[in-house]
Structure 1
């Protein structure tokens, strides 16, 4: 039995969940809220760091800005992708206007930009808006 570390989206505590129980809608051991909601999480820099460093599932990040038309157009597709990819991916949104240090650290030059991180390392990146099916296909084809 393989245990995965998952960061709670509500209280930020790290939970250990058996891999075979991911599909059983696990709750946080501390706050008892669901570990997955089928919706992307909006993260601050500190929350992003916690998920990046402490979670064993890949982090699929949408770097976006509120003034960006393509970002707003892609938002519903990213939400649909979250419902399909969780619990094997954690989908998050990072507002590059509010979290400029993250945008600078990862050299985000155009938005929207999607990036997949595994064990703290970026493994894949794609700039430009995509539909839900394309996001799901792109994420599932990421290197393991």
Structure 2
């Protein structure tokens, strides 16, 4: 029997059990049948972040950003491209700190953009400042 991982569906938030060997085979959600990995970052609110953090076995690479932040907007295309490069080994998510102020405060997000990598429900690394696609990919893989 192969090892399986819990993967949260970005469309319906259902928890899916996916054999590790099938992660790269475009798995679909058992509930809504949407792709579990679409090569795009997933926008999460506080509840969605908590669900992904507590239930997913896939490491979360989180971009904490705000719509008024110029460097955040400038980094958005690079983060989008990084999702295509890093999935399914990572789930890339975006958390708008204007909408999730309590979460940002609880996590001590002091500047944006901030990238944080979470594994097993715990933060393992963090960096602040905009990066290009190669920088994001390299930084994430170093934390693996």
Taking structure 1 as the reference length, the TM-score comes to 0.98
- Name the CA distance, whole Å, in 2 between partners of 1:82 and 1:36: 9
Tell me the residue number matched to 1:67: 68
Are 1:91 and 2:100 counterparts?
no
Distance in 1, Cα, partners of 2:26 & 2:50: 24
SS in 2 for 1:116: strand
Secondary structure class of the residue paired with 2:47: helix
Correspondence list, 1:115-134, <5 A: 115-134=116-135
> For structure 1, which runs of at least 5 residues remain unmatched after alignment?
none
Moved over 4 A (4+): none
TM-score by length of 2: 0.98
CA RMSD, Structure 1 to Structure 2 (Å) = 0.5
The alignment of Structure 1 onto Structure 2 pairs a total of residues equal to 143
Spell out, residue by residue over 1:10-65, the C-alpha distance to the aligned partner (whole angstroms, 9 max, x if none): 11110000001001000000111100110001101101100000000100000000
